[in-house]
Amino acid sequence: MIPTLADVAKRAGVSIKTASRVINNEARVAEMTRKKVLAAVEELGYVPNVWAQRLARGQSGLIGLVIFDATPAYTSIMMIGLMDAGEAAGYNVSIHRLNPGNPRQVAEIIGIAAHRRVEGLVITPPCDTAPGLLQSLKEMNFPFVVIAPHENCEDCPVIAPMDEHGSYEAAWHLIRLGHRRIGFLQGPQDHQASWERLRGYERALKEAGINWCEEIIRQGSWEFEAGLVNGRDLLSLQERPTAIMAPNDVVASGVLQAAWERGISCPDQLSVVGYDDIPLARQVCPPLTTVRQPIYEIGTGAMTMLIDQLIPRGVISRKAEMPTELVIRHSTGPAPR
């Protein structure tokens, strides 16, 4: 049988309360008693139940990750970052689905915080747009971190990638290759990242003296079907784009399929750029030029910011911007003549 605290107390000849004080390294225990309890712990091979101890103190040891419609690859990579940083500090991660437009689900998340079923929340877009959510958490003084918020939140702990800069770099890469008619697929309109990336694209075109053309801009989602449908649409235009920027690698793969269906060679006749640099970017044919978003580091950074609120260790970071990196592969090339 697994030894219990009661077994340790009996072996040491002390009360369970005294044994607990020794194991929790509390004061007011005689040195001889402490040695007896520690000797009993070693003899029996007793391992303290950290989770039971936390529950007794009203702590769950859980950090809640609030998500809605992020793609599986993005979510899994970020979760690994959260879990790696969390486990190092004794925290596990639980997942909570939230449609920001569903009042019942919003109330459930607020209730989870109010009843301390988790010790903190990591909130991903567009969940931060849920009416009353952030304000309620602030009023409860409940620890949370927002990843890439939809709107600027001055008094919220925030971690976000440099999305505008990443899109700007990708657009300039295409411009330097001679492309002037560059299609742009925007992500969901309720995600701030979608607008940041559109701004980066527009800024690059403006600097290059290229007129912004609404005809080759499409709004969509993070899904493969958005790339397939919008790719077919753009490639059916009488004057089709010579390059297309997608909001993520999954959508970019849909664009590649749309081009393949029409016999359009990539990159000889069409250049395609993705975003995120998930494993898929290296697995499609041709491998995608993409903007590497530090997804894992965003996860570890968000957890670290949250733990700093739970276990104050000095100055608490409230804002963090994570750099992106353009990764050039084989899906982009010179504009066709």
Same domain as 145, residue 210? no
In a domain, 53, yes or no: no
CATH number, domain containing residue 28: 1.10.260.40
Res. 258: pLDDT tops 80: yes
Same domain as 316, residue 282? no
Q: Is 90 left (phi over 0), alpha (psi -120 to 50) or beta?
A: left
Strands 289-292 and 325-327: antiparallel
In a domain, 82, yes or no: yes
Instruction: Determine the pLDDT at residue 56.
Output: 52
Instruction: Determine the pLDDT at residue 59.
Output: 62
Same domain as 233, residue 172? yes
Which has more confidence, 11 or 60?
11
Coil, strand, or helix at residue 259?
helix
In a domain, 237, yes or no: yes
Domain count, the chain: 3
In a domain, 11, yes or no: yes
Same domain as 276, residue 156? no
For the entire predicted model, the pTM comes to: 0.76
If you average pLDDT over residues 261-267, what whole number do you get?
97
Lowest-confidence segment of 56-70, 168-182, 232-246, 314-328 by average pLDDT: 56-70
Strands 182-186 and 62-67: unpaired
Instruction: Determine the pLDDT at residue 18.
Output: 85
Res. 50: pLDDT tops 60: no
Mean pLDDT, the chain, rounded, equals 89
Domain hosting residue 28, numbered range:
5-48
In a domain, 220, yes or no: yes
In a domain, 327, yes or no: no
If you average pLDDT over residues 87-93, what whole number do you get?
86
C-alpha 315/C-alpha 39 separation (Å) is 39
CATH number, domain containing residue 307: 3.40.50.2300
Same domain as 245, residue 184? yes
In a domain, 334, yes or no: no
Determine what percent of the chain is predicted with pLDDT higher than 70: 92
The four Cα atoms 65, 66, 72, 75 give a dihedral, to 10 degrees, of: -40
Choosing from 293, 310, 331, the residue where a domain stops is: 293
Write the DSSP assignment of 188-201 as a string of letters: -TT-HHHHHHHHHH
Lowest-confidence segment of 30-44, 205-219, 285-299 by average pLDDT: 30-44
In a domain, 329, yes or no: no
Same domain as 116, residue 189? no
C-alpha 106/C-alpha 104 separation (Å) is 5
C-alpha 59/C-alpha 62 separation (Å) is 8
If you average pLDDT over residues 298-307, what whole number do you get?
92
Same domain as 184, residue 80? no
Same domain as 70, residue 189? no
Same domain as 300, residue 188? no
Return all residues near 282 (Cβ < 8 A) that are at least 6 apart.
Answer: 288, 329
Same domain as 268, residue 177? yes
Which has more confidence, 166 or 156?
166
Same domain as 284, residue 304? no
Same domain as 113, residue 13? no
Please write the tens of the pLDDT for every residue from 21-48: 787 767 778 888 888 888 888 888 876 6
**Token digits of residue 150:** 């939809």
